[in-house]
């Protein structure tokens, strides 16, 4: 369980990092929190020729919360975002989702942006980004930054729109609209494990959406505005069940995952609708 040899770069600023990435091209890999990449290296499942460690790059360790939403820089750790009262006030779903991500020690190092780029189909944050319609900002040497909307960012299991030579510099999570509610529910075999299935839910005065994890190649967003308007949670759950594409693995059957997505969606929609009714404009995490 030792990684194969690789060249190691530890750039100090963004320009240097982008230059190193450009030079490495497809042979390069960004090292952020390392919570997903290092195990892959140690098990020799990944063997990049170059690692570009961004942990010392100035200016990426940012977290800002404003009326529009929350923007997390590439070095904003899970734990920092989880604990940020400002972020939670603007978008309470972030904190609730982050509490379900792994364990505290892993959240101390793992990054929000790294989790999005890693694009594990069972990860929580991709679902949050997809549900809220957020975006990821990408930079490359010599080019302009581009913002990729969530709907285009997740391209397959463990695959994102980041191209070789690109660095994800930040991610943007839109604020919770007034009179809205959110919820995250999942079922994991052990506390902190990737979920067997999970749902992030947003209920606004105008719409209701569910983003499901662990039941498809990417987060699956289901619009249940109609069913929610009628207060028909069973129909909403049924709509979720019909849309998800779970697969069987050693932990659960596809049928069970499908069933679970429906049950969790029903529960989370009730939570979010209740919150939308009772909390009005002010939200507490």
Ligand X SMILES: Cc1cc2nc3c(=O)[nH]c(=O)nc-3n(C[C@H](O)[C@H](O)[C@H](O)COP(=O)(O)OP(=O)(O)OC[C@H]3O[C@@H](n4cnc5c(N)ncnc54)[C@H](O)[C@@H]3O)c2cc1C
Residue 102 binds ligand X (CB under 6 A): yes
Handedness of CA 42, 72, 201, 211 (dihedral sign): negative
User: Which listed residue (190, 205, 281, 284) binds another protein by CB under 8 A?
Assistant: 190
Residues of span 184-203 touching ligand X by CB under 6 A: 193-194
- Bridge partners for 174 per DSSP: 69
**At which residue do the structure tokens 């909403």 appear?**
236
Mask of contacts with ligand X, 114-153, x by CB under 6 A? xx-xx----xxx----------------------------
Instruction: Pick the closest to residue 171 from 88, 21, 60 (CA basis).
Output: 60
Rounded to whole angstroms, the Cα distance separating 227 from 216 reads 22
| 191: contact with another protein by CB under 8 A | yes
- Mask for 41-80, x = binds another protein (CB under 8 A): --xx------------------------------------
269 binds another protein (CB under 8 A): no
| Window contacting another protein (CB under 8 A); options: 1-9, 13-21, 23-31, 168-176 | 1-9
- CA distance linking residue 21 with residue 218, whole number of Å: 26
Give CA torsion, residues 106, 107, 108, 110, to 10 deg. Answer: 80
**Selected binder of another protein within 85, 189, 206, 245 (CB under 8 A):** 189
Q: What is the smallest separation between the CB atom of 258 and another protein, expressed in angstroms?
A: 11
For 175-184, letters b (16+ CB in 10 Å) and e give bbeeebbbbb
Q: Which of the choices another protein, ligand X, none does residue 29 contact, using the CB cut-off of 5 to 8 A by kind?
A: ligand X
Range 102-107, long-range pairs (CB < 8 A, 24+ positions): 102/35, 102/78, 102/192, 103/191, 103/192, 104/79, 106/35, 106/78, 106/192, 107/77, 107/78, 107/79, 107/82
Residues 23-62 that bind ligand X (CB under 6 A): 29-37
- Which positions touch ligand X (CB under 6 A)? 29-37, 74, 101-102, 106, 110-111, 113-115, 117-118, 123-125, 162, 167-168, 193-194
Where do contacts with another protein occur on this chain (CB under 8 A)? 1-5, 39, 43-44, 187, 189-193, 196, 250-253, 255-256, 259-260, 263-264
């Amino acid at each position: 369980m030792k990684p194969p040899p690789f060249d190691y770069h530890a750039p100090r600023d963004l320009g240097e990092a982008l230059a190193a990435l450009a030079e490495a091209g497809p042979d390069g890999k960004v090292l952020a929190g390392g919570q997903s990449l290092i195990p892959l290296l140690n098990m020799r499942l990944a063997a990049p020729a170059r690692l570009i460690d961004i942990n010392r790059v100035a200016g990426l360790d940012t977290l800002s919360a404003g009326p529009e939403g929350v923007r997390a820089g590439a070095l904003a750790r899970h734990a920092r975002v989880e604990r940020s009262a400002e972020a939670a006030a603007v978008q309470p779903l972030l904190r609730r989702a982050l509490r379900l991500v792994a364990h505290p020690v892993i959240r101390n190092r793992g990054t929000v942006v790294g989790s999005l780029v890693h694009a594990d189909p069972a990860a929580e944050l991709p679902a949050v980004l997809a549900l809220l319609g957020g975006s990821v900002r990408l930079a490359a040497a010599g080019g302009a930054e581009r913002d990729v909307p969530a709907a285009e960012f997740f391209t397959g299991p463990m695959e994102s729109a980041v191209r070789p030579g690109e660095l994800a510099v930040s991610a943007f999570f839109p604020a919770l609209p007034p009179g809205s509610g959110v919820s995250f529910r999942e079922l994991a075999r052990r506390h902190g494990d990737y979920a067997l299935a999970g749902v992030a839910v947003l209920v606004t005065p105008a719409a209701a959406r569910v983003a499901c994890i662990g039941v498809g190649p990417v987060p699956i967003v289901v619009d249940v505005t109609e069913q929610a308007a009628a207060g028909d949670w069973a129909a909403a759950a049924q709509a979720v069940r019909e849309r998800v594409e779970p697969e069987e693995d050693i932990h659960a059957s596809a049928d069970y995952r499908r069933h679970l997505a429906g049950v969790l969606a029903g529960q989370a929609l009730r939570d979010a609708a209740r919150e939308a009714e009772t909390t009005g404009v002010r939200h507490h995490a």
